[in-house]
Amino acid sequence: MKTYTITVNGNTYDVVVEEGASSGVAVAAPVAAPVAAPKAAPVAAPKAAPAPVASGAKGGVKVESPMPGKILKVNVSAGQAVKKGDVVFVLEAMKMENDIVAPQDGTIASVDVSVNSSVDTGDVLATLN
């Protein structure tokens, strides 16, 4: 008999394997419970909503990339008015297209990326007032 430690989906199990006498095939004996409690994955704290800025301040609210990827489309330009939920960028990540939307009503103060730009999580794509 041999004992192995196996991790499946974050749970660790001890498995005892004994060889079958006639077939030569290994057979795993079931184990009732995990060996150790799985480690909890770190949970990121939610980001606070951006605070509104006084009229006339340049670029008060940042539109940030939620994940690394490549910008496929830029649907806005500086000075353009947007409503909360309007698609301002299309980001390709892991061969999927993701809509990046305006977090609130406002006017685009600056567009900080262009088509085919590579971005990382948290990179500022645009700012709006």
CA distances from 67 to 42, 91, 96 (A): 17, 9, 12
**pLDDT digit string (tens) for 85-129?**
999 999 999 889 999 999 999 999 999 999 999 999 999 999 998
Q: Could you give the percent of the chain with pLDDT greater than 90?
A: 50
In sign, the C-alpha dihedral spanning 8, 11, 14, 16 is negative
